Amino acid sequence: EVQLLESGGGLVQPGGSLRLSCAASGFTFSSSDMNWVRQVPGRGLEWVSDINPAGGNIFYADSVKGRFTISRDNSKNTLYLQMNSLRVEDTAVYYCAKDLTGWGCFDYWGQGTLVTVSS
Amino acid sequence: DVVMTQTPLSLSVTPGQPASISCKSSQSLLHSDGKTYLYWYLQRPGQPPQLLIYEVSKRLSGVPDRFSGSGSGTDFTLKISRVEAEDAGLYYCMQSIQFPRIFGQGTKLEIK
């Protein structure tokens, strides 16, 4: 059974940092493109970042470029999102998602972890 | 960036009746590889999104056949042939022909 378990969310002050993790199991993590997608409570979905299986191809939304860093450790079956210079508008539930084809086909999602940026 | 526009933003449907959601993209989603990168996701209340349809019309394994996707180029439609109570939630289309991946605003389906 495929499982994606996010952790690392919490309350942080503006300008602070947080690192999210997504522990994967039930599939060949090292062969799968992975993504982060976020959702402001009560709002729509916003794609955040994508990383290919080897970690050599990475893409970001303009809203997080230069502040967030996606990475992965295939030996630990874990996806990460390092978030620096956090802003109030980064407050959201962050989901990790497995991409079946590498083309945005998010066939499995985690339950999400809430990040709250507030003073 | 590609802009994705969904209509309507909300609809209320009686169980057993059909439902239809439109999604229009500002650019063609037809790739040179011949595939069209348009997806449909459903987010039930309190749950993460789940994939329903990929590449316009392909149902993910396990998705009921009352869900169907159609369209080409820039105009796409998700249809539910006979709505059931469990279909309530937010429906999103998403393009992935290019980065950034862009979701539509979402369409809220309410069951009467």
The DSSP secondary-structure symbol of B101 reads: P
The predicted model gives A45-54 an average pLDDT of 98
For A70-79, write each residue's pLDDT tens digit.
999 999 999 9
Among B60, B101, B108, most A C-beta atoms within 10 A, so best to mutate, is B101
Residues of chain A with Cβ-Cβ distance to B54 below 8 Å are 100-101, 105
Q: What does R_g of chain A's alpha carbons equal in angstroms?
A: 13
Q: Give me chain B's average pLDDT, please.
A: 97
Q: Give the closest-approach CA distance of B33 to chain A in angstroms.
A: 12
DSSP 3-state of B105:
coil
pLDDT, residue A108, reads: 97
Residue B62 at interface with chain A, using a CB cutoff of 8 Å: no
One-letter amino acid at A99 equals: D
Look up residue B77 and give its two tokens. Answer: 């439609």
**pLDDT over 70 for what percent of chain A?**
100
Cβ-Cβ pairs closer than 8 A, A with B, add up to 58
In angstroms, the CA A18 to CA B91 distance is: 30
pLDDT band per the 50, 70, 90 thresholds, residue A117: very high
The predicted model gives A68-94 an average pLDDT of 98
Question: For B37, how many CA atoms within 13 A lie in the half-sphere containing its CB?
Answer: 22
For B3-31, write each residue's pLDDT tens digit.
999 999 999 999 999 999 999 999 999 99
- Of A100, A103, A110, which is closest to B48 when you measure between CB atoms? A110
Can you give the pLDDT of all 112 residues of chain B as single tens digits? 999 999 999 999 999 999 999 999 999 999 999 999 999 999 999 999 999 999 999 999 999 999 999 999 999 999 999 999 999 999 999 999 999 999 999 999 999 9
Among B96, B97, B98, B107, most A C-beta atoms within 10 A, so best to mutate, is B96
